[in-house]
Structure 1
């Protein structure tokens, strides 16, 4: 009996010793690619319990025997979880953390979306065009847009120029439905070619700074994208007659069919204008035609656009009448001070 009692006490003592025994989990954390140690890695073995790697990238835990999950996390690296069964005095780990690979940001749209595209932009709706544009060149309606300055310059037809954040028109991408219309040589845009486009404009978006266009354009200053009505628009027709001073007259029409049977859609705009101009030699006479045909094929949209602007107009003269310099000399050489100009 004493022998059995002694065996029982010995067994209990061994069990208590076994359950209360501690071991050590130690190791080092390194970069998977370079092999360099990483300082300050957050290492957790239980909720709210853990430590960080030291200046040598090393760590050490003294824990009771058992099963643990060590979680390693550090800014710029993927989180790593290592299961450990502690059943001996010491366990050594060499943990390799992999760099977090960020996916490239792809901007594949010409139109920025609120809270989605990281671009500062403003959108002009048709209502504002109807209220403020009148017979001006299209950029003039953008003067109330932050960061944008537009001017009619000399007052000639199509002479308008636009500046965004201080960059002139050579450094601003102007697009029509995502198609660049800047002059290929000097980057200018001749707005007399687009004077009737407002009849079928759905919106004008101005992106300040580098924009969301996927095309190689001179858009350091910004991007101006004119979006026309198409198959997604409601069926409608608009006719406008404008009469102004100095013999100005403009007649315009815009037609949108919306989506027709078979997934077709047609958008048309036409305009004719003439006038003497309020500045000397800035007369104008010309027309504008725009046609867009859309075809919806499943999830795809095929769009065909054609445009033209046959015109002739004067340019503000850089010459000065001789009488601006010397009336007596003009009389002496037989020139009419009222009409004759110095050339050369």
Structure 2
């Protein structure tokens, strides 16, 4: 009887030790915290990305910009060749990167694609003076980051518009160049208000005659941005509008026409009236 009692007491003691160990473990375990989903996305390369790329900051953009379109602005980038039709860089302009034409160059503005869905080109003439509204540009030479898809076979160009300033501001500028080229702009912003809201707007106009005949330009650009800042998020609504009137300049000339009519000769829109005099549409 004594042996049975001792055995029963031992079982109870062992059970108490196990229960106490479980209770201690439950008390010592770390608290489980469920985290919210985090999504990381990017269209720009960094220092650890295995590709060649070039970053252009806002001061560099302003230094090299003179009412010129993006392809002419980027003409000094390695492996990039650009040209304009009117001779000033403000009219129709094109570029190639590593020999690949614009239909295989992926262009994004704040992460949104700008390539035309039909031709895959970007018609920079429809976004005049866009460079003055940019904060930075990145050119990725080669296939590019995977987020850009198959359209980035030749290269990728990432454009980022300017953000809000901490203080309210207002500015205006005007400049003049060769061949009666003029550019004027006005910009203003509220700065970041106490409620976190910010509004910025910029309007510009570019006019000029161009180097070749009928290479005139008359371009308008409007950029507005409404932002809301908090401690952990930023919401921004941007509106960009471009309006352009540009002369036809894409017809080429041979050496005979240049010798006869001069280097600035352009046959586009040319006709003769009843008296045989040369006229232009």
- TM-score, normalising length: structure 2: 0.70
Deviation of 1:260 (Å) = 2.5
Whole-Å separation in 2 of the counterparts to 1:157 and 1:149: 16
1:201–1:226 CA contact under 8 A, matched in 2 = yes
Partner of 1:335: 276
1:124 aligns with 2:65: no
Specify which of 185, 207, 213 is matched with residue 140 of structure 2: 207
Q: Measured at CA, do residues 206 and 238 of structure 1 come closer, stay the same or move farther in structure 2, by a change above 3 Å?
A: farther
Summarize deviations over 1:107-160 as a string: whole Å, max 9, x none: 830222223x33321111122222222122122222222222222145475311
Whole-Å separation in 2 of the counterparts to 1:319 and 1:149: 19
1:143 aligns with 2:143: no
Q: Please state whether the residue corresponding to 1:144 is helix, strand or coil.
A: coil
Q: Measured at CA, do residues 199 and 235 of structure 1 come closer, stay the same or move farther in structure 2, by a change above 3 Å?
A: farther
Q: Please state whether the residue corresponding to 1:187 is helix, strand or coil.
A: coil
1:200–1:228 CA contact under 8 A, matched in 2 = yes
The two structures, once aligned, show a CA RMSD in angstroms of 3.3
Q: Measured at CA, do residues 153 and 110 of structure 1 come closer, stay the same or move farther in structure 2, by a change above 3 Å?
A: same
Q: Please state whether the residue corresponding to 2:71 is helix, strand or coil.
A: helix
1:181–1:189 CA contact under 8 A, matched in 2 = yes
Partner of 2:25: none
Q: Measured at CA, do residues 272 and 262 of structure 1 come closer, stay the same or move farther in structure 2, by a change above 3 Å?
A: same
- TM-score, normalising length: structure 1: 0.58
Specify which of 58, 65, 86 is matched with residue 133 of structure 1: 65
Query: What runs of 5+ residues in structure 2 fail to find an aligned partner?
Result: 1-38, 261-270
Q: Please state whether the residue corresponding to 1:246 is helix, strand or coil.
A: coil
Q: How many residues matched?
A: 229
The structure with more strand, counted as a fraction of residues:
1
Answer with 1 or 2: which has the greater Rg: 1
1:310 aligns with 2:243: yes
Partner of 1:76: none
Summarize deviations over 1:50-93 as a string: whole Å, max 9, x none: xxxxxxxxxxxxxxxxxxxxxxxxxxxxxxxxxxxxxxxxxxxx
Whole-Å separation in 2 of the counterparts to 1:233 and 1:224: 28
Partner of 1:111: 44
2:128–2:243 CA contact under 8 A, matched in 1 = no
The 5-angstrom pairing of residues 168-317 of structure 1 reads: 168-212=101-145, 214-216=147-149, 218-231=151-164, 236-316=169-249
The 5-angstrom pairing of residues 4-153 of structure 1 reads: 108-115=41-48, 117-153=49-85
Query: What runs of 5+ residues in structure 1 fail to find an aligned partner?
Result: 1-105
Q: Measured at CA, do residues 272 and 264 of structure 1 come closer, stay the same or move farther in structure 2, by a change above 3 Å?
A: same
Q: Please state whether the residue corresponding to 1:309 is helix, strand or coil.
A: strand
Deviation of 1:239 (Å) = 2.6
Bigger relative contact order, structure 1 or 2, given CA contacts below 8 A and separation 6+?
Answer: 2
